[in-house]
Structures are given as structure tokens and as C-alpha cells.
Structure 1
Amino acid sequence: MTQALLPARPDLIAARKAWLQKLAGERRLAANTVEAYERDTRQFLHFLADHQGGPPGVRQIADLKPMDLRAFLTRRRAQGAGTRSLGRNLAAVRSFLRHLEKEGLANAAAATAMRAPRQPKSLPKPLTAADAVRAVDADEQLNDEPWVRARNAAVLTLLYGCGLRIGEALSLDGGDLRDRSARSIAVTGKGGKTRTVPLLPAVFEAVDAYRDLCPYDLSPGTPLFRGLRGGALQPAVLQRDMRRLRGALGLPDTATPHALRHSFATHLLGSGGDLRTIQELLGHASLSTTQVYTGVDSQRLLEAWRAAHPRA
């Protein structure tokens, strides 16, 4: 991030830099979250410079009123930001102001008084069990290189078989998943939190098939999943391959790598899994995050009832 390009005074630039470092260091927020907060507050400072007629400093931030924050969100909406983006914009500014308040530099009352935009309720869109199994099948993958087909199948199997996030799967080390007698694996997720997830035989089979074909050295201390040139596999590559795959298999547009994680949770819940266990397996900090899957399951039951019941 280039602090010199910020339309703000040196004292505010320094305070913001210290806040971002604290988020990444002490609070151990995910890199993507820190990057998003950096971007959100950069947009906010650009807005303030225009709104107040000059680069803001700590004193100008300290004097903010709720109407200033409402004006910022109105500007962002006019620029095309959706409700979720507006909510994150406000969350980033709140976090920054609370940091300044703890340092005795500002009052966060203005941000605290602001209500976040109401978020639309959207349910996860899992695949059916049959489509999920097809999506993780090595024989269905599209690539001329057998080892790449095996690689994609192995990663997708981890997402569906273990409920991993794509970043968690791609962060695995060459020394991981070697011991066939292992019943589980420790995974480091968001915020640096570690959880234990059970391993299915299908996961070992998929990873072993990939190891046998991969032309690169997969020794401990190196990335397990590799790109064509041998570097660590990037999420965008897998997402691109999944887009091609869903077109070939006739899967819905919602069939993404992350949808396989949704499918893991939904299918577990539909088979009698309890929410607390699923919460732990997914690494959700709050049970309310996991509860969204009860809506998916209920919706499917209702759709089945409407399709089958003679009086529906």
C-alpha cells in the first residue's frame, strides 16, 4: 500500500498505518480482510478530502458526525457499491475510529451511532450430491495434462470431503496427507485459528493419485499443490478451471469451488449432522454463520414437498 498517495495529513497517515499493522499483527486478521480494510479506509479518506475541501488530519477525523458517514455511504452507493460493500465500508471506518479512540485521538461515537445497511438474506447455493461427486471426479476434469486433472480433483475433493476453504487447501504442505493411517488433519483458517477436520479415504486416494503424476518435487516444506510452472497453485487458476468444468458438465453458474464447501455443510446437515459439529468443521467463529445452512435444508424440503405432495 502506498501511503504517500493518500489525500491525508501526515499524522492521520501514520495513525492509519499503525492501525493496519495492528490488524495484521496483534489481531491476526486474514490478509484479504486487512487488504479490504485498507481499500475501504483509502476510499473514505479520498471522500473526506473532497467533502471537507482538503486533506483530513486526526483533528478532522475526531470531529466527524453521523451525517459525514452517511454522506460517505451515499457517495459509495452512487458509485455502484452494493449493500454488502457498504456494510464492510462502515465496518472498516468503525474499526479505524475505535483504534483512534483507544489512542486518545478521536471519538468513535459517530460511527457507533450509525446503523449498518440492512444486508439481504441470501442462502448458500450448494450442488446436489450427484453433481458434487461428478465435480470432484478426476475423469471429469478438463485438461490435457493428466497430473493437472488429478491435481484439480484432489483440491476439489478436499473442499467437498473436508469442507476446506480454497485458501486452506492450497496452503497445505508437501508433507501433509502422507500418513494413510491419519484420521484427521489440523487446518489453519481465518484469523490464524486452527481446527481439526476428519479425513475420508477418498481424500487420500485423490491426493495420492496426484502425487504419483505430479512432475514436481512435493517434499515437506514445499507447496503440495503446484501450478504448471511448479509454483504454488493460485486460487484463480482453480476457479477458472471450475468455470470450464461446470460448462462441460452442465452444472449451474453457482457451481464454484466455494460451493463445494457449502455442499459439504448442507449434505452433512441433511444427513443428520448437528450444527455445533458443522460449525467446528467449517471453522466458523459464530454459530449464527452456520445456521444459514438450516435455511438451505428447509428450502429443499419445501421444494420436495411442493413437487411430490398431491395437495401442494
Structure 2
Amino acid sequence: MTPPRKSGPAPLPVPAGWDGLIEGYRQHLQAAGRPKTTIATRLAHISRIARALDVSPTRVTGRVLKSWFATQTHWSTETRRGYRNSARSFFGWAHDDGQIGTNPSTELPHVAAAVPLPKPAPDRVWKESLLAADARTAVMLELANGVGMRRAEVAQVHTNDLIESFDGYQLLVHGKGNKKRLIPITDEVAAMIQRGAAGHTPGASTEGYLFPGNDNGHLSPRWVGTLCAKAMPDVWTMHKLRHRFATRAYRATRNIRAVQRLLGHASVATTQIYTAVDDHEMRAAVVGASGSGVQTPWQTAA
């Protein structure tokens, strides 16, 4: 039997005094039923903060924490929001639990949410990615491009998630917040999943997780994203293939609610961020709006 693939590099250690507190925070998040991906993100953020500040958690002040945040000038708005949310969650819990005397994160300023523009991966990027990918990564890319799945959802695909219905095959997707959804898939994608890990790795099992690893039996979402990013050109990421799927699905159906359900979004507003408007459609809209039927002075002069 082929041994499980690694899930990714081992996490770096944190300074003394943080280990027990971070473990307690992990248990707190698990007891609250937070998704594994959220827990992993929160712990990664706090571990990095711990290594950067290099003082015991009881000596972290609002000024120290705010000063470190101020030095992270390369962060995007969403990254800054994510770290702030993690800091407020962690230090808030530690203070409420009596582990620290004050909550330094209350001094972190509010970070307004950015409204990102959709950036679907173009055909060139999709083709180059497939050419550069090995067999296993190509399957990951196809699940993002052809099904619109998140990296965490791709990581958890299991052969048992494939369901044959009256209308064709469906896939049970394990989404964010432990939410599950059934989405229709093509016969080609169904066949790819039916083959299991053996479909991309000779000698692997035809049953079980499509991408075996050490994260509860499958690869970690972070490692799935890393593998896809290595195959994609420039700074393109796996998530932009999800944008590509959303844009193409909307253009094919003009049904934003259908695309919302396929992507597993709680809000249509989120889905709208993912769907890019065709340049030809915008040009047609401008041309249509400009035709008032009244001859203008410059048209007369011509």
C-alpha cells in the first residue's frame, strides 16, 4: 500500500510560555465547533505573532501589538483583517479565561473590509497550469476550475462522496463551517473521482480520499493550495480558478442564485464579487445607452 503523502511542512516552534496557551485556545475553538480550516488559520496567525513579538503572552501590551501590526506594510487589507480577528479572538479568550491580566488586542484599530474585484483566471493561465502540473495536481486544478471548489473542499474529496442520481452524478462537498452541499458534476469529473487516488498515483487505492495525506487522512488545504500555486504561472492561485468557474457558470446561465448554491456562498453579494462582467457586454451596454435617437452637434458636423 502506498504511504500517505505529506500534508505540508511542519509548523515552526513558538517561544516558551506560548505553547500551553495556544493549546488551550485550540481546545476552546474545537469545543466551539469551529471548522478545521478556521482553527488552522487562527493558530497559524497567533503562532506567527508569538514568534515576532518574542515575549511571554502576559507581557504583550496594546502598544507592542499595535507596533508590530504597523510594520506589516506588505499586508493586503484582508490579511490585516484576518490577523486582527485572530488576535482579538485569542487574546479575548485568554483574558476571559483568566490567563492574562489585560486584553492588548482591544487597542488594535478597526480594519474596514475591502471590496475586491473579480479576477478569474484567463484561458492562457488555465492551459499553462495544466501543462505544468503533475497528474495529482491536475486533478486538484480541475476540481477548482470545473466544479468551483475551495482548496479545503478539494482536500477532503472522498470516493464515497460521489452520488449517482436520476439526472446524473452529484458530489457531496464538505464546505466551510462544516456545511455540506450536493452539486451536479459532469460524467468526466465523476469518472476522475471514481478512480480514487489510483487515478493519478499508480499503486494507490481506488477507494478513500482522493488525495491521501496526514491531515485526518487527507492532504491539508494549505498544501493543496501550495501545489496548485506551484503549477500556475506568475502570481495566479487556485482560488482564481474558482472565480473563473463562477464567471463562466453565470455567463452560461444568467442565474446568480444557481451560481451561489454551486459555490456554497451564504450571500448572493459574495457571489457577485466572484463573477466578472464580460467586457463585450459592458461595451454593448454603453453603445445601447448612447443611442438616444437625437442627433448631436458633433454628429451633424460630421
Fold equivalence (TM over 0.5) = yes
Give 1:196 deviation, angstroms. 1.5
| Structure 1 Cα separation of the partners of residues 227 and 57 of structure 2 | 42
Label 1:301 to 1:101 Cα distance change in 2 as closer, same or farther (>3 A): farther
Counting aligned pairs with the same residue, the percent is 24
The 3 A distance-change label for structure 1 pair 304 and 107 is farther
What's the CA shift for 1:95? 0.4
Give, in angstroms, the shift of residue 188 of structure 1: 0.9
Shift of 1:263: 1.6
The 3 A distance-change label for structure 1 pair 45 and 300 is farther
Alignment of 1:171-182 (within 5 A): 171-177=156-162, 179=164, 182=168
CA contact (8 A) 2:65 2:105 kept: yes
Give the aligned residue type for 1:116: H
Aligned CA distance change for structure 1 residues 183 and 108 (closer, same or farther; 3 Å): farther
Matched, 1:215 2:202: yes
2:68 matches 1:72: yes
Match of 1:269 among 247, 250, 254: 250
Does 2:77 correspond to 1:83? yes
Equivalent position amino acid for 1:297 in 2: V
Is 1:162 aligned to 2:167, yes or no?
A: no
Q: 2:36 aligns with which of 27, 30, 55?
A: 30
Identify the residue that residue 21 of structure 2 maps to in structure 1: 15
Q: Secondary structure of the equivalent of 2:131?
A: coil
Offset at residue 272 of structure 1 (A): 1.4
Normalised to the residue count of structure 2, the TM-score between the two structures is 0.67
Counterpart of 2:186 in structure 1 is: 200
CA distance in 2, matches of 1:142, 1:180: 33
Partner residue, 1:96: 90
Change (3 A) 1:254 1:186: same
Quote the offset at 1:39 in angstroms: 3.6
Q: Which amino acid aligns with 2:22?
A: R
C-alpha contact 1:97 1:107 (8 A) present in aligned 2: no
TM-score (structure 1 length as normaliser): 0.65
Alpha-carbon distance between aligned partners in 1 of 2:274 and 2:151, rounded to the nearest angstrom: 19
The answer as to whether partners of 1:174 and 1:218 remain within 8 angstroms in 2 is no
SS of alignment partner, residue 72 of structure 2 = helix
Q: Does structure 1 residue 44 correspond to structure 2 residue 26?
A: no
**Gap regions ≥5 residues in structure 1:** 50-54, 244-252
Structure 2 unaligned residues grouped into runs of 5+: 1-10, 292-302
- C-alpha distance in 1 between matches for 2:268 and 2:289: 37
Aligned length: 271
1:233-272 correspondence runs (5 A): 235=224, 236-243=226-233, 253=234, 256-270=237-251, 271-272=253-254
Distance 1:218 1:297, change over 3 A: same
Deviations for 1:162-196, whole angstroms, at most 9, x for unmatched residues? 21123423432244548486542211123332222
Residue 112 of structure 1, CA deviation = 4.5
Structure 1 range deviating more: 196-205 or 38-47: 38-47
Partner amino acid, structure 2, of 1:165: R
Cα RMSD, aligned residues only: 4.3
SS in 2 for 1:196: strand
Check 1:220–1:84 CA distance in 2 against 1; reply closer, same or farther (3 A cut).
Answer: same
Q: Tell me how far apart the structure 2 counterparts of residues 144 and 117 of structure 1 sit (CA, whole Å).
A: 37
Greater RCO, 1 or 2 (C-alpha within 8 Å, sep 6+): 2
2: CA distance between counterparts of 1:144 and 1:239? 10
Taking structure 1 as reference, are residues 41 and 169 closer, same or farther at Cα in structure 2, changes over 3 Å only?
closer
- The correspondence for 2:277, drawn from 276, 279, 297, is 297
- 2: CA distance, partners of 1:159 / 1:88: 23
